[in-house]
Chains A and B, each alone.
Chain A
Amino acid sequence: MTASSITPTVTPAVTPTVAKGLKVALFAACYNDTMWPGTPIAVVKLLERLGCRVEFPQRQTCCGQIFTNTGYAAEALPLVRGFVDTFAAYDAIVAPTGSCVGAIRHQHHDLAAAAGDVALTRAVDALTPKVYDLSEFLIDVLGVTDVGAYFPHRVTFHPTCHSIRVAGVGDRPQRLLQAVRGLTLVDLPHKEECCGFGGTFSLKNADVSIAMASDKARHVRETGAEVLVAGDNMCLMNMGSVLARQRAGVRVMHLAEVLASTEEDPA
């Protein structure tokens, strides 16, 4: 097991000039908005701390992934249209979910094209390059890895499947975590293996899903971490609910909430 401990240093200057006054639209994702408001709240606090002006377009709802992936593409199409209408005017759209970002990048075009809607397809193609997962936006657009966070805990990180294989965020979340003062990042064995959530898979194939989640929970416990961090709350819910049922004493937290944490406002 490898543990990389980050030695606390002087609080860095974390307001690069590029971020000053940048108008950013937050796509909270419907399930975060409804079930885990703490995550989009953390994104707002974090981005404002870094000098961005954050807006929350109220008309936003769902990216449509759950419908597409369950076989209901027709139901997803109006949501693609709604997403484009809501966000087309912004320069950058930031979402604390690699899964929805992946769906927007890889399904919205195909859904629009399959419906034969040329105008919508063009609008999707113009919009999607401006949609970022939080970790991408921080590193690639704002150019910051050390976001000035403080989180004095032993942490392990699960890179969710859609973050790494669909959205393609790479090791950005780990680089952000390694720069958090006080945080000890412990490598999660078999980290790139799915936690077993898979949307409706967790209900339709509950037994296999639970077998996968149980193995994942075992690997999390092996790390001795107090906190399991990931960039998608649905995966965290799956892993966290098994850990909770096992009374494992491991807290699950979204990456955004760790990055928003400071001495003054600890998570």
Chain B
Amino acid sequence: MTTTYPSGPTSAPTSGPLQATTATFIGMPKFPKAAKEALANTQQRRNLAHATGVIRAKRAGVVAELPQWEDLRLAGAAAKDETMTHLAAYLEQLEANLVRNGAQVHWARDAAEACQIVVDIAAAKGVDEVVKVKSMATQEIELNEALEAAGIHAWETDLAELIVQLGHDRPSHILVPAIHRNRSEIREIFRREMHLVGRPAPDDLTDEPRRLAEAARLHLREKFLRAKVAVSGANFAIADTGTLVVVESEGNGRMCLTLPETLISVVGIEKVLPTWQDLGTFMQLLPRSSTGERMNPYTSMWTGVHPGDGPQEVHVVLIDNGRSHVLADPLGRQALRCIRCSACLNVCPVYERAGGHAYGSVYPGPIGAVLNPQLRGTASDVDKSLPFASTLCGACFEACPVRIDIPSLLVHLRAQVVDESGRKSAEAKAMKAMAWMMGDYRRLEKAQKAATLGGRLLKGRTIHTMPGPFAPWTSARDVPSPPTSSFRDWWKARNTDSTTEDQR
């Protein structure tokens, strides 16, 4: 099996460059600080608790309908693992089939290369605007900002992305980027912003969902009908046919994928599926995991160019942007199975309270906590803190349709952060001391003597404040005072006249 890229990056998939932190997220504070600020936003907490609660219940309902759900998860994980094991070969096959069907394939090592390719294609068409299908890959590379810098407006056409874009905001969820907004906030954004970039919102706009959707439709329709170039991502890229697939709910994707003359799709190299048959597995896993629906309303598939029908110029930009680095880690590479369904976000108690912005990336939640430190490395404050932004409760692993063991990956990345820190911190010293104490039961017994002496002195009084690293605990919680004797003291007293196994 070949390990070199077909025509693009010279680096083999077994090693690779890290993703550069994009402009928006440079200097993001570490997770606990950002989360503390987010917790103070009571409206956002309400919005998130409501929205994730609704979607969790919907998902649980439709997943329970399928007795073969666990088999589907295994099949999904296996198909993705097959892709990752032979990635170079499947990418070559995909490229060959795309080219055979009239598409043009571009390879991009990183965000800057990918953005430049898209900007060049759009500029060559002489356009000053493109319409966009919701796409995580283009969010990741900050394509909209690159296009704007080149004087090309990028219009988001997914309703939630439109809300985020009009609100000069950032997405806080993979599937529902405006999950942190409620409908009255959306009404205000539409009324304030729509008229600045196109058809204004109606004067009598209310916060009824039907009226808001209608306002978005009318606003977007003129852009769909006018645009000459569309930009999309892809949920899947099928190697054995050269077919790209977009799964969506609103039909805006279908508009973008069929009306403009030129279509540019930016696709992460991990999106490849080996065969057309594999799609059947993922079309059962994805809608149920993401929106909690049995099937999504619109699934668009296109295989190169079809003369006289749809876009007549089809470009596919395959991006690495740190993925080879993830692939190089035998344990970490399972994160590349991710199909961006958001099930892990919706079940995560930390995400529900901290919100998506605290993760300092377009990939928030549990998958973001493992993917960002792998794609970007653990040099920045936020990436160092992400592996610790979890209680390891395991709800994410349970919900993941491709069985990414996120808790184990978090633990793996925690060790990486600790090792890179040089083990010089106060925490490292405390851990070393505690491990020494636990290394021999006689040392543990000595420590217990100190604790139970403390317990006798405190006489059961509750501890309300603690110093140093334990201070955060007591900001809202009491500390139990130690008991007056340990379990082993009780055991020894009870067994003084009987031999226990320890005298073996």
Contacts and interface: CB of A to CB of B under 8 A. Distances in A.
Contact of A211 (B39, B469, B480): B39
A194 B431 contact: no
Interface string A38-75: 10110010000000000111111110101111111101
A201 B480 contact: no
Contacts of A69: 392, 411, 414
Interface of A: 28, 30, 32-38, 40-41, 44, 55-62, 64, 66-73, 75-76, 78-79, 82, 106-107, 110, 161-162, 165-166, 192-194, 196-214, 237-238, 240-242, 244-245
6 contacts: A28-B487, A38-B483, A165-B395, A166-B394, A193-B393, A242-B477
A110 B415 CA distance: 14
Interface in B453-504: 462, 469-470, 472-473, 475-480, 482-483, 485-491, 500-502
Given A30-B444, A37-B489, A55-B501, 6 more contacts: A33-B486, A66-B434, A70-B431, A71-B419, A161-B392, A194-B393
Contact of B441 (A58, A110, A194, A241): A58
B390 A198 contact: yes
Given A206-B472, A241-B478, A37 B418 contact: no
A71 B439 contact: no
Nearest to A99: B392
A237 B483 CA distance: 14
A110 B330 CA distance: 14
A206 B473 contact: yes
A241 B438 contact: no
B268 interface: no
Contact of B451 (A35, A192, A207, A213): A35
A196 B441 CA distance: 30
Nearest to A214: B476
A55 B479 CA distance: 31
A37 B388 contact: no
Interface in B335-390: 349-350, 353-354, 387-390
Nearest to A78: B439
Contact of A41 (B39, B354, B487): B487
Interface residues of B, number: 66
B462 A244 contact: yes
B97 interface: no
Contacts of A38: 483
Contact of A238 (B36, B447, B477, B501): B477
B488 A211 contact: no
Interface string B215-246: 00000000000000000000000000000000
Nearest to A73: B415
A208 B473 contact: no
A91 to B, nearest CB: 13
A165 B392 CA distance: 10
B32 interface: yes
Contacts of B434: 66-67
A49 to B, nearest CB: 15
A212 B353 contact: yes
A32 B31 CA distance: 31
Contact of A61 (B407, B441, B485): B441
A67 B423 CA distance: 13
A244 to B, nearest CB: 5
Given A57-B501, A67-B431, A203 B395 contact: no
A35 B483 contact: yes
B470 A61 contact: no
Nearest to B477: A241
Contacts of B477: 210, 213, 238, 241-242, 244-245
A75 B435 contact: yes
Contacts of B470: 203
A36 B478 contact: no
A237 B480 contact: yes
Contacts of B489: 37
A205 B35 contact: yes
A72 B418 contact: yes
Scoring A60, A64, A79, A208 by chain B CB atoms within 10 A of each residue's CB, the highest score goes to A208
